[in-house]
Amino acid sequence: MADTGFRGPKELVKAGKWSMQGLKATYQNEASFRLEVYIFFALIPLAIWLAESSLQLMMLLGSAWMVLLVEILNSAIEAVVDLVCGDNKHELAGRAKDMGSAAVLMATLLTFATWAVVIYQNHFI
């Protein structure tokens, strides 16, 4: 039978289960992700207090959420590189891991910039 592209409730439940397994695996195996989760939850009340509009709140929380999202992708890249390369050092493996780390750094810098702009706009203008 050809795949029609239709996904019913069973497939959505399976996809949700796999997603939760991925979140659990990331949380259990990645100290950086755990730290970023703790920071994210600490930032929620601060964002609610700082934001003067729902758009600002979404910008503050969305930028912080993006760090979590990028960290999950970085962890997935690292896991695949480790699986393929094992203990063997390879220039491309190192480059892939460094690029994943750079993506997390860029997301973190975007978060700092977003928070700085909102704070500046709301409290200094």
Which residues are tagged catalytic? 71
For 23, residues 6+ apart whose C-beta sits below 8 A from its C-beta are: 72
CB 70 within 8 A of CB 124: no
Going by C-alpha positions, the residue among 15, 32, 33 that lies closest to residue 24 is 33
Estimate the crossing angle of helix 9-29 against helix 31-50, to 10 degrees. Answer: 100
Q: Helix, strand, or coil here: 41? A: helix
